[in-house]
Amino acid sequence: MSLTYVLESVLALLVLGAAAWTIAARSAFAAAVGFVSYGLLLSLMWVQLAAVDVALTEAAIGGGLTGVLLLGAVATLRGTEARTNRRPALPLRVLAAACCVLVSVALAVVVLTLPESGPTLAPQAVAALPATGVGNPVTGVLMAFRGFDTLLEKVVLVLALVGVWSLAPDRYWGGHPGLEHRLPADGVLPFFARTLPPLGVLLGIHLMWTGADNPGGAFQGGTVLAAMWLVVMMAGVRDAPAIRELWLRLSLVSGPVVFVAVGLAGMLTAGAFLAYPIAIAKPLILLIEVPMLLTIALALGLLVTGPPERTADPR
Amino acid sequence: MSALLDLFTTIALVLGALFFLAGVVGLLRFPDTLSRLHALTKADNVGLGLIVIGLLPQAGSVFAALKLLLVWLLVLLAASTVGQMMARVARRAGPPR
Amino acid sequence: MSTVTLFGLCASALVGLGLYGALTHPQPLRKLIAFNLLGSGVFLLFGVFARRGAWQSVGGDPVPQALVITGIVVAFAATALAVALLLRLHKESGEATLDPPAPAGASTERRSP
């Protein structure tokens, strides 16, 4: 029973405890806070599973951004909590619990009866990695071997954003998301919003750049950039842009458009959609990643700020 | 020499963990938000600083050591900002009813 | 019991917990949080299978890990859309519930659905 094993057991128990607290908490605020701490503990579990890229993504998006989203929603919905408190009757809850225990036990049986070694694509991925020019296998899979999934994911992000925007009342269409934040310019939060973002932007770009050979990548870097932008907006240092701005819309679609363009060019130069000619594979991946970073940062930030709630200034 | 460095790391890590424990005890035992904030921010920042200092000899390179220090400085910045803001909200809300 | 099995059992428990919360919580926001819990439990199961595919110097099979990264981002996008829908519902109706409004004059004690 090595020390690492003790650490991992304690970690698993903590994660289960945080999850149980999130489900059982009385108020939605407690549940949201519990969810954020659960996300951070979960990213530690991902590190123990030798998946550092996933740990970065879970901590940033699963813990951080989702937490911001949920806490904002909890604050808005605080008044309605008392009125929506009618839990289902006890027999129904017992039945639901029994079904959930059944599902858990089925999954646990699957986990316990796994064969000694499972199928894996790691050898093929590692063998094909030098052709792409990147050193991190996960980045290779995301950008080259399963690039189509990443392209579709980008489109999903933009579509979700369009869905969120479409929930605005007609009179606010094209306006600024969220309410205006006005804080005294010498307050604590504006100071924070002027100190951290320069370093944070550098960190975000570095995360994307180093994702080629080390854990990291465009998603993690884009999330850091989105977080810096959110801090700046929440401190009132800069207002949220009006969604009808042309630069905003062009930047949002630049990620998927460049990706699709490279894919179509691949049909002409390398024989299949999203095939990269081996000689220029790495520069092509970089060419895709930079607009992708911009799209991810903008889309994630705007998903958190929500639909427009103010009209845009008249031109 | 490396045994000495390992000893230094162990002592610093244990001290850092003790500071974190002190912060948690303060969180659980102090009566109101402001004193709990006091306990948490002081103890957690010093605890993290001790842990970072303890890990410095184990970092592979000067660059990695600088990154560890940067982590500590960023946590200091974030924790102090959040502590200030929570304290203002707590003071405005007044004593718990 | 190896690490991988331990984490796999933890993931199964998380799936069950999340499912229970999604089924029984009356508030849509709590259902959303529980749904996220369920999703992250499933992702953890993916991670367990990825870890079992470790080979030479690569710590885990990279394909499930890339799928999980994609999944986390898409789950966040779906959560953001759901929160926006919920907030709009609240703005329109004043309540944040999916239950139909009680007819005027009915008692506040309703039979559960």
Kindly report, residue by residue over A74-120, the tens digit of the pLDDT: 998 888 877 777 778 888 999 999 999 999 999 999 999 988 777 88
Could you tell me how many residues make up chain C?
A: 113
Q: Over the stretch C13-69, which tens digit does the pLDDT of each residue have?
A: 999 999 999 999 888 999 999 999 999 999 999 999 999 888 877 888 899 999 999
Shortest Cα distance from A106 to chain B (angstroms)? Answer: 38
Cα-based torsion angle of the residue sequence C56, C48, A15, B87 in order, rounded to the nearest 10 degrees = 60
Distance (Å, whole) CA A184 – CA A70:
26
Dmax (CA) of chain B: 58
Shortest Cα distance from C105 to chain A (angstroms)? Answer: 17
Shortest Cα distance from B1 to chain A (angstroms)? Answer: 24
Q: C111 falls in which pLDDT band (50, 70, 90)?
A: very low
Residues of chain A where predicted confidence (pLDDT) is lower than 50: none
Q: Flag if A65 and C45 touch (Cβ within 8 Å).
A: no
The residue that leads in pLDDT, C58 or C87, is C87
Q: C104 falls in which pLDDT band (50, 70, 90)?
A: low
Structure tokens at C23: 């089924």
Q: What is the CATH number of domain C3-93?
A: 1.10.287.3510
Residue ranges of domains in chain A? 1-78, 135-315
Contacts of C51 in chain A (CB under 8 A): 49-51
| Dihedral pair phi/psi, residue B96, rounded to 5° | -60, 135
Taken in order A73, A77, A82, A86, the sign of the CA dihedral is: negative
Look up the ipTM and state it. 0.93
- Would you say A155 and C86 are in contact if contact means Cβ atoms under 8 Å apart? no
Among left, alpha and beta (phi > 0; psi -120 to 50; other), residue A178 is left
pLDDT at C112 over 70: no
Concatenated DSSP letters for A165-219?
HTTS-GGGTTSEESPPP---TTSHHHHHHHHHHHHHHHHHHHHHHHTTTSS--HH
Q: Flag if C47 and A46 touch (Cβ within 8 Å).
A: yes
Q: Over the stretch B1-27, which tens digit does the pLDDT of each residue have?
A: 888 999 999 999 999 999 999 999 999
Q: Flag if C97 and A5 touch (Cβ within 8 Å).
A: no
Shortest Cα distance from A230 to chain B (angstroms)? Answer: 15
Q: A199 and chain B: CB distance < 8 Å anywhere? A: yes
pTM above 0.90, yes or no: yes
Distance (Å, whole) CA A136 – CA A52:
11
pLDDT for A116 equals 79
Q: Flag if B84 and A188 touch (Cβ within 8 Å).
A: yes
Instruction: Find, in chain C, the residue whose alpha carbon is nearest to that of A150.
Output: C70
Among left, alpha and beta (phi > 0; psi -120 to 50; other), residue A44 is alpha
Q: B97 falls in which pLDDT band (50, 70, 90)?
A: low
Test mutation, A44, A102, A111, A149, chain C, max C CBs within 10 A: A111
Q: What is the DSSP letter of A273?
A: T
Structure tokens at B22: 């002190």
Q: Over the stretch B33-88, which tens digit does the pLDDT of each residue have?
A: 888 988 988 888 999 999 999 999 998 899 999 999 999 999 999 999 999 999 98
Distance (Å, whole) CA A45 – CA C11:
11
Q: C102 falls in which pLDDT band (50, 70, 90)?
A: low
